[in-house]
């Protein structure tokens, strides 16, 4: 199958026009006329993932995070990112990014996160897109029954891929939670939206000390902070399924979701008590 056909399917699922203005989505390298048989999906376009793509013989690597978010004047192999571009082109592996356009899609990154942690009820965007309330950032929905924050923290840890970071909770461990707001990736911009949403708990990544500490001084949801990579990884299986369903069955692609843990943090120690 031509790469251009796969891209057309991806862009129907995650239209580039839905991406934020600061984002860089779409084809990073590769020839739309090249043939694609094997597709690898991953969160981060880092060396370990490119190694995996080349070793497996992937013709296309789809990542959530952009390799080249900021404009560059060149891609010399003397820079880490330039080196990856060289290796991908030499290996005949195209690179394609679906980032904030996948965040706001329906279903998108936060739908997969909500389902992974056990939200079974209907989901709606936490911050709906102005042009379509079915799309937007974050999701909110209900657990089948209320559980304590402590139980839900364990449930989130079990539902997401394991990382050194794990899952941290802020708030009363015995508090009952049922309505769950989530945002895959760095969701601190939605803290106040989560507060007014009526959610009992807000799950996201990259929460910092002061915003979290000040947040808890006022009534609102408890906070759960998981590894950035782990909150976005569940989307890959959804994207894989949606892509396969969108392409003709007569020309089956081999697809694979990378299980390499590419969260930046590798070690965790609670300290000596």
Residues 121 to 180: which contact Zn ion by CB under 5 A? none
**Nearest distance in Å: CB 116, Zn ion:** 15
Would you state the structure tokens that stand for residue 82, as one six-digit string?
């330039």
Closer by beta carbon to Zn ion, 23 or else 52: 23
Helix runs in 121-227, H state only: 149-159, 191-196, 209-215
Contact by Cβ (8 Å): 101, 16: yes
Closer by beta carbon to Zn ion, 152 or else 235: 235
Closer by beta carbon to Zn ion, 38 or else 81: 81
Closer by beta carbon to Zn ion, 197 or else 204: 204
- CA–CA distance, 174 with 171 (Å, rounded to integer): 9
DSSP strand pairing (26-29 vs 124-129): unpaired
Stretch that binds Zn ion, among 54-62, 126-134, 182-190, 255-263 (CB under 5 A): 182-190
Burial 207-233 (b: 16+ CB within 10 A, else e): beeeebeebeeeebbbbbbbbbbbbbb
**Nearest distance in Å: CB 108, Zn ion:** 12
Neighbours of 158 (CB within 10 A): 12
Q: Residue 235: enclosing H or E segment and its boundaries? A: helix 228-246
- CA–CA distance, 204 with 18 (Å, rounded to integer): 21
Closer by beta carbon to Zn ion, 113 or else 247: 113
**Nearest distance in Å: CB 204, Zn ion:** 10
Counting contacts by CB under 5 A, is residue 185 touching Zn ion? yes
**Nearest distance in Å: CB 235, Zn ion:** 10
List strand residue ranges (DSSP E) for 187-244, in order: 201-205, 222-226
**Nearest distance in Å: CB 12, Zn ion:** 22
- Which residues fall within 8 angstroms of residue 154, CB to CB, at 6 or more apart? none
Closer by beta carbon to Zn ion, 84 or else 102: 102
By beta-carbon distance, which residue lies closest to Zn ion? 185
Closer by beta carbon to Zn ion, 199 or else 226: 226
**Nearest distance in Å: CB 185, Zn ion:** 3
Stretch that binds Zn ion, among 3-11, 155-163, 169-177, 185-193 (CB under 5 A): 185-193
Closer by beta carbon to Zn ion, 84 or else 205: 205
State how far the alpha carbon of 7 is from the alpha carbons of 68, 84, 104, 178, 248, in Å. Answer: 18, 21, 18, 39, 14
Stretch that binds Zn ion, among 149-157, 171-179, 183-191, 263-271 (CB under 5 A): 183-191
For residue 223, which phi and psi values (nearest 5 degrees)? -115, 140
**Nearest distance in Å: CB 42, Zn ion:** 12
Counting contacts by CB under 5 A, is residue 66 touching Zn ion? no
Counting contacts by CB under 5 A, is residue 45 touching Zn ion? no
Stretch that binds Zn ion, among 9-17, 143-151, 181-189, 247-255 (CB under 5 A): 181-189
Enumerate binding residues for Zn ion (CB under 5 A): 185
């Amino acid at each position: 199958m031509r790469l251009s056909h796969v891209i057309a399917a991806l862009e129907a699922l995650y239209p580039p026009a839905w991406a934020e203005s600061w984002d860089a989505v779409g084809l990073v390298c590769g020839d739309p006329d090249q043939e694609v048989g094997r597709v690898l999906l991953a969160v981060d376009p880092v060396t370990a993932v490119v190694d995996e793509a080349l070793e497996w013989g992937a013709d296309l690597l789809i990542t959530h995070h952009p390799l080249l978010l900021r404009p560059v004047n060149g891609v010399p192999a003397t820079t880490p990112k330039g080196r990856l571009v060289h290796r991908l082109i030499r290996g005949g592996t195209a690179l394609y990014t679906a980032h904030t356009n996948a965040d706001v899609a329906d279903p998108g990154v936060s739908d997969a996160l909500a389902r992974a942690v056990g939200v079974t009820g209907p989901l709606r965007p936490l911050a709906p897109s102005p042009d379509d309330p079915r799309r937007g950032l974050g999701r909110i929905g209900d657990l089948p029954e209320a559980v304590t924050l402590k139980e839900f923290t364990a449930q989130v840890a079990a539902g997401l891929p394991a990382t050194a970071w794990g899952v941290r909770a802020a708030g009363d461990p015995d508090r009952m939670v049922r309505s769950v707001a989530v945002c895959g990736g760095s969701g601190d911009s939605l803290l106040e939206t989560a507060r007014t949403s009526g959610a009992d708990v807000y799950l996201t990544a990259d929460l910092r000390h002061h915003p979290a500490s000040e947040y808890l001084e006022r009534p609102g949801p408890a906070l759960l902070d998981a590894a950035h990579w782990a909150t976005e990884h569940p989307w890959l299986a959804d994207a894989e399924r949606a892509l396969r369903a969108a392409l003709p069955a007569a020309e089956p692609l081999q697809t694979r979701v990378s299980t390499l843990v590419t969260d930046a943090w590798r070690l965790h120690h609670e300290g000596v008590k």
